[in-house]
Structure 1
Amino acid sequence: MMTNLQKASLFFLSFLMISIMACSRELSHDDNEEEIIFKEESSTGEPEHYQAVPNDLVLIYDGGAHRRIQWGKEHFAPYVSAEVNGEEKWLFDGFLFLEIHDGRGRGFASGYQAMAARKTEWENLLENYFAKGNGIHALNEQIEEMRKTGRVTGEFEKRKVVLCIPEPIPNQTDWGQLDGRSLQFFRKEDRIDACKWYIDFAEQLFQDANFEHVELVGFYWLAEEATNSRNLAKDVADYVYGKKYDFYWIPYFNSDGYSEWRNLGFNVPYYQPNYFFSESIPYSRLQEACDRARKFQMNMEIEFDDRALKNNGWGYRLTDYLDVYEKNGVFDSLKVAYYQGGDAFYKLSQSEEEADRALYRRIIHLITQRAEEGVD
């Protein structure tokens, strides 16, 4: 059986092969090509949702010792509201809290670290999100402050929180104990029990916090491929749905099982184009990702990191996402997730470079326009 490092190498080699086979960025899709307009698609067969799904879901990576960002109240300020055409308006309506490893050698999903995270790391991750002055508390406090000012226009709805579920990595034997028994992850029932414990713990922490301005609407499956979840995610989904939450998933481009999201048990899927991260990946990748999302009825993800800042020179790749998504009607009818590396959106909002400010203004305009017009 392969080790986690061997699996990580295989994932990397697969991604590298895709990148090498890709053409240069100068190749753009044919302007005469038939446009894909999502809102013309039939809604027949759409999955049932137990909670309202946010239009604009921003990914907040936090919880690992390697992180240098402090997600306090002030840091959430540019995500909560912004000035648009002279008026302060609400921005992201959804916040996904997640982490891939603990920064000390333990991974929360297959392939990230040599060792798998244990119960203690799972517990610490959640407690970090609910620590006073950080994470969800800080988000709630910033929203409260803005509501008290009365400056923000438009009707307010509670911001929606989604929490990641670490993958119970197959064959792990040192995860820890539940009810006096040691869980062994070569047993499917033990993997499911670990997930149930985590979901219950998260739900209890949220209830105990008694937040006024945010609500828990779902859980996110951290593993971005189905390789180790094909016979597990559906059982976890049944537990999530039994509690009236939704089950989110954001598989990467060509991920194992990405088109099988329904059978795997998820009901809020997004698709990663993975275009931003390498200049060897052609512009046509974005249209291909949109076509696949249309075919398999998935939402879309926008991806960028600090390289999008003017001083790093990759802002054009973020612009490409916005251009292609607008052409394809993504912002008219689909939900959008925003991968920002660490806090690249924050950096765009604080930058004095006009190119960065222009990107920031374009994003907040798209978000606030969606909020005003609504998404079908």
Structure 2
Amino acid sequence: MKMWKQGLSLLIAAFLMTSVLSPTASADYFPKDDEKSNHASNIALIYTGYYNPDNYDGVKVGDYNKDQFLPYVGYLNEQGVAEDYFFDTFLMLTTQSPYKGSLARYYDWVAGSKPGTLQDWKWAMDRMFEKGLQLDGLEEAVEQVGADLNDPGKKVNVYLTMPFPDPQCKDFGDFNGDGQVKNLESLDTRKELNRWYIDTMTDRFNQRSYKHLKLSGFYWLQEDLDTGVPGEKESVQYTAECLHQHNMRLGWIPLRDRQTENATFYIDDLKLVKYEGMKQAPDYAIKLTSAIPAMDVGAVWTPAVENKSEKDAQGQLVTVEAVFSSSEPSVIEITPEGTLKALQAGKAVIRAAVGNIEAESKVVEVSPWRFNQLKGADSIIEMDPGLKNPVIRDPLQGGKQYVVKDGSNIKVAHKYNERYDMWLVFDHFGANKLHSFYEWRLSPNEGKEVSPDLKRASSVLQGEGSDWIGP
């Protein structure tokens, strides 16, 4: 399965909207495909800035043509034909120009850097419209994937970079043609620059008449907001207002505790009070009755949802009310009391919603046999707190392995210890249906070598709980 290429970071995005007049930021997140986010659900972060080829073995890292975009626009089979869509939104991130002026805030401790000027901004603007690359390449990729899927009208969302108008720059250049070199210490000048940039980029985008790209917004490049700088908050707010006039959004990934928050893309979050000493956004996770996500037929479990960002006075994670759902009600039913009832063998994704925030999902298997009483060897798996379980200690090194492919399912079997074989299973998994590691399984085998029979009884030792991919 052809899925990704080097040089691209991926962002599976959630969304947050706050009023520009609100004194505090909300902790509520948008669901996928929401109108207020211009229907963005899954965002690919595309690094299109300048990266000196001399530092990358001659490779032009920031250049993206159709072929480089294809595996992000669609799920491609071995013949390179799309079988489904992949990312629906593309954030074109231009962080630096070859002229070394900073497109974000200038810091004097960054070697060789200087405040960004009009020369840097114009390079970043032209970068998006290079023939056959960047937006052109994405347009061609979406057209091809849409044709593969008999969907010729397919469109994806695009967010363009909004460079940071740095008040440290006193000789920015003449961006409006009045013959004056601009000093960005002036808030009014910064506002005028922001509007000029948005209007110019929007006009250039529209002139290309892309059939498969929708300009949905701009991304505020500077990852923090310094409330000690006069007019900085007003500059951001004005930029959001300009975009709203074009029915677009201002996106932002905040810097917090010196680390960018993972997988969270904020929309129009202008006051930023929440990120200055207030508690973390909730991070909900489902807690099952057993640490091993495998149920017997007829078993009933009582799940819970914990907020991993909040602890009580005793240091325990806080439990919250949630509404549960099952992807396969015929396998695992959600009872009126909110419990999980195993009905027949199979697998189901268990999800939970706390208000409009979705918790981390869990994949649970229902086995026709007891998961702690393996067939074949009649050996009980006894878990204890010290990880002294005989199943997961004293593994054997080396030896023969068997690989069996059945459709998309791939099993790799090896002799794990004197009592068990271990199977590594790969398959499509998660909301994005990526082909990746799926689970570990154990199967009784007291022979000296691994057994080639991969259809015999086995038990889940550990299931994978994430479909994240990244750099």
**TM-score category by the smaller chain?**
0.5 to 0.7
Q: CA deviation at 1:192?
A: 1.2
Q: Which residue of 2 aligns with 1:73?
A: 66
Structure 2 letter corresponding to 1:102: S
- Structure 2 counterparts to residues 143-162 of structure 1, below 5 A: 143-148=142-147, 151-152=148-149, 157-162=154-159
How far, CA to CA, are the matches of 1:208 and 1:87 in structure 2? Answer: 29
How far, CA to CA, are the matches of 2:151 and 2:146 in structure 1? Answer: 11
Query: Relative to structure 1, is the Cα distance of residues 190 and 242 closer, same or farther in structure 2, using a 3 angstrom cutoff?
Result: same
CA offsets 1:257-313 (integer angstroms, 9 cap, x no match): x999866269xx9x999xxxxxxxxxxxx9449xxxxxxxxxxxxxxxxxxxxxxxx
Q: What is the TM-score normalised by the length of structure 1?
A: 0.56
Query: Relative to structure 1, is the Cα distance of residues 171 and 56 closer, same or farther in structure 2, using a 3 angstrom cutoff?
Result: same
The number of aligned residues is 253
How far, CA to CA, are the matches of 1:145 and 1:262 in structure 2? Answer: 33
Q: Verify the 8 A CA contact 1:237 1:265 in the aligned structure 2.
A: no
Q: Verify the 8 A CA contact 1:166 1:223 in the aligned structure 2.
A: yes
Q: What is the TM-score normalised by the length of structure 2?
A: 0.46
Aligned partner of residue 231 in structure 1, secondary structure: helix
- Structure 2 counterparts to residues 110-259 of structure 1, below 5 A: 110-111=105-106, 113=110, 114-148=113-147, 151-152=148-149, 157-177=154-174, 178-180=176-178, 181-227=180-226, 229-254=232-257
CA offsets 1:49-71 (integer angstroms, 9 cap, x no match): 56623100111111314363220
Query: Relative to structure 1, is the Cα distance of residues 329 and 123 closer, same or farther in structure 2, using a 3 angstrom cutoff?
Result: farther
Give the gaps of 5 or more residues in structure 1.
1-37, 274-285, 290-325, 335-353, 368-376
Q: Bigger radius of gyration, 1 or 2? A: 2
Q: CA deviation at 1:358?
A: 5.8
Aligned partner of residue 255 in structure 2, secondary structure: coil
What is the alpha-carbon root mean square deviation over aligned residues?
4.5
Q: Which has the higher strand share?
A: 2
Q: In percent, how many aligned pairs have the same letter?
A: 22
Q: Which residue of 2 aligns with 1:302?
A: none
How far, CA to CA, are the matches of 2:427 and 2:167 in structure 1? Answer: 42
- Structure 2 counterparts to residues 1-376 of structure 1, below 5 A: 52-66=38-52, 68-69=60-61, 70-83=63-76, 88-111=83-106, 113=110, 114-148=113-147, 151-152=148-149, 157-177=154-174, 178-180=176-178, 181-227=180-226, 229-254=232-257, 264=270, 287-288=308-309, 364-365=432-433
Structure 1 letter corresponding to 2:251: Y
Give the gaps of 5 or more residues in structure 2.
1-15, 17-25, 54-59, 283-306, 311-349, 359-411, 413-424, 436-471
CA offsets 1:102-135 (integer angstroms, 9 cap, x no match): 1442111114653122112111112111111100
Structure 2 letter corresponding to 1:73: K
Q: CA deviation at 1:157?
A: 3.9
Query: Relative to structure 1, is the Cα distance of residues 261 and 88 closer, same or farther in structure 2, using a 3 angstrom cutoff?
Result: closer
Q: Verify the 8 A CA contact 2:169 2:185 in the aligned structure 1.
A: yes
Aligned partner of residue 239 in structure 1, secondary structure: helix
Q: CA deviation at 1:254?
A: 3.5
* Larger RCO: 1 or 2 (CA < 8 Å, sep 6+): 1
